[in-house]
Structure 1
Amino acid sequence: MSTQLDPIVSEFETQEQADSYDRWFRTKIQHSIDNPGRGMPHDQVIAQVDAVIGDCSPP
């Protein structure tokens, strides 16, 4: 049986759910750390977003 958590303190109903989410989250973060080549520099992202916004602006 899992320990019930206070809804004011935790978004999870049980400690088991909280632990499961924590394991999932840490796995996702570690995967991102282990595969850094998939990222894109912030300046490049902003330039692309600005270009899209510029294309959508009224003449």
Structure 2
Amino acid sequence: MSHDLPPMTSAFATDKEAEAYERWLRGKVRASMQDGRQGIAHDDVMAEVESIIRAAEAGLAANRS
């Protein structure tokens, strides 16, 4: 059984655009890896996001009343 995949198409109109994006992305990754600040634990971020969502939902509910 053959599992041939379709050829990949680029999200960019030109090779120049693709190369510019590649340079930008590599720069962002390099800067992130060199950042000496301590990371934030996933659970801490998710707890903060949940708190923000609950506050927004409470505000919407209060506005509907």
Q: TM-score, normalised by structure 1?
A: 0.66
Distance in 2, Cα, partners of 1:54 & 1:13? 42
Equivalent position amino acid for 2:53 in 1: I
Report the CA distance shift for 1:54/1:12 in structure 2 as closer, same or farther (over 3 A). Answer: closer
For 1:22-37, list aligned pairs within 5 A. 22-37=22-37
Partner of 1:54: 54
State the distance in 2 between where 1:51 and 1:33 align: 29
Runs of 4+ displaced beyond 6 Å? none
Tell me which residue corresponds to 1:3.
none
Give the number of the structure with larger relative contact order, counting CA–CA contacts within 8 Å between residues 6 or more apart. 1
Alignment root-mean-square deviation, CA: 2.3
Which residue is 2:10 aligned to?
10
Task: State the identity %.
Answer: 33
Give me the whole-angstrom Cα distance separating, in 1, the residues matched to 2:48 and 2:22: 33
List gaps (5 residues or longer) in structure 2. 1-7
Report the alpha carbon displacement of residue 29 of structure 1 after superposing the two structures with TM.
0.6
Whole-angstrom distance in 2 between the partners of 1:53 and 1:12: 35
- SS of equivalent to 2:52: helix
